[in-house]
Amino acid sequence: MRTWTDIDMVNAILRNDERLMERCYTDCRHYFVQHAGAIFVDEACAHDIFQDAIIHLWREIQTRRIEVFEGRVCRWADSQLIPMRSSIMTFLMAVAKRKNWEQVRQQQRWQLTDNDRVLETLDNHRYDAPQEDISETEMRERVVTDAVLAMTERCRQILTLFYYEHRSLDEILALRPENSTKMGLKTSKYKCMQRLRQRVHDRFKQLNISL
Amino acid sequence: MTDNPNQHPDEERIDAVDHIIFRELGEQARLKQKMQEWEERKRQQRRLRLLPVVSNIASVAALFVMGLFLQAMLPDTKVATDILPQIEQHEDTPPAQTTDSLSIAE
């Protein structure tokens, strides 16, 4: 049975209260499994989408795009903090649905191309207008978060394995049989990083954020 | 920013952005790892919750099998049908008077 409120969840993520975060996560997962069956056909894909939705929510809260104000969970929209009309669960489901839709769209685009080009979703609607009381550093981090979240799972995996886990290309090749050659993997990694950088730079320019 | 004076300003800029990108990749990867741990813990809890149920079912099944085994081992079910009425009959007959009780009555 759910023993926490949306406010508890927001505070848990803000305070990095792992115990409560774990409880919220497992309850949300349970809810997702019960209700997502009709939306997502592939179970493994649904699992990834759910985790991405959680990361999205976690970032929204960490960067205070969602926060507790006057005893209510509010969200920044049009430079204003507006009480959220939906629950956190509903918000999560909406994010997951959107991510699912993005993936379907991506797959369709992948099917259209037969080379190993890195395609990413062009999802500009996720960016909110910068709020006046948000520092440039925060805004910069948000842009990067969104850009990383908007990457394909494939790109994110390659870059995470290479730059975060410091795995060699040979090791990544062994972990990802999808990449047939080392050279192909190297090209993919380079292109993924280039696209990510480009997206971040474009967005910085758009928002007048200095480097 | 890097302190390398020979570095092209563009490269320097890229380094600064890369730094944020790598940190973000790391944070997201860490959170994913945490989520995996939570999932694993949940699975273990479920297994532990199921364990007593499974062991109860196993013991009931074992008792049942033992009952079947014992039944098969008994020489004949006639034992129950033949002996039981005899016992009942024996219980109905009044106990025989002992010599002690006769002497007291005298």
Query: Could you give the CA distance from residue A111 to residue B29 in angstroms, rounded to a whole number?
Result: 28
A62 and A129 assigned to the same domain: no
Interface residue of A19, A142, A160 to substitute, partner B, most B CBs within 10 Å: A160
All residues of chain B having their beta carbon less than 8 Å from the beta carbon of residue A145 are 24, 28
- Predicted TM-score of the model (pTM): 0.66
Answer with the one of A112, A133, A161 that is the final residue of a domain. A112
A104 and A125 assigned to the same domain: no
A119 and A42 assigned to the same domain: no
Answer with the one of A96, A112, A128 that is the final residue of a domain. A112
A106 and A120 assigned to the same domain: no
So what's the pLDDT on residue B3?
Answer: 46
A9 and A93 assigned to the same domain: yes
The set of residues, in sequence order, having a beta carbon less than 8 Å from that of B88 and lying 6+ positions away, is none
Look at residue A47 and tell me whether its pLDDT is greater than 80: yes
A107 and A84 assigned to the same domain: yes
So what's the pLDDT on residue B73?
Answer: 78
A106 and A127 assigned to the same domain: no
* Residue ranges per structural domain of chain B: 9-90
Model confidence band, residue A151 (pLDDT cutoffs 50, 70, 90): confident
Model confidence band, residue B37 (pLDDT cutoffs 50, 70, 90): very high
What chain B residue is nearest to A160 in terms of C-alpha separation?
B25
Number of domains in chain A: 2
- ipTM tops 0.85: no
Range of the domain at A89: 1-112
A11 and A53 assigned to the same domain: yes
A99 and A50 assigned to the same domain: yes
Residue A131 belongs to domain with CATH number: 1.10.10.10
Look at residue B52 and tell me whether its pLDDT is greater than 70: yes
Q: Which of A196, A126, A123 is nearest to A154 (CA)?
A: A196
Query: Could you give the CA distance from residue A143 to residue A145 in angstroms, rounded to a whole number?
Result: 5
Lowest mean pLDDT among A106-120, B36-50, B69-83: A106-120
A34 and A55 assigned to the same domain: yes
pLDDT digits (tens, 9 = 90+) for B16-27: 778 888 888 898
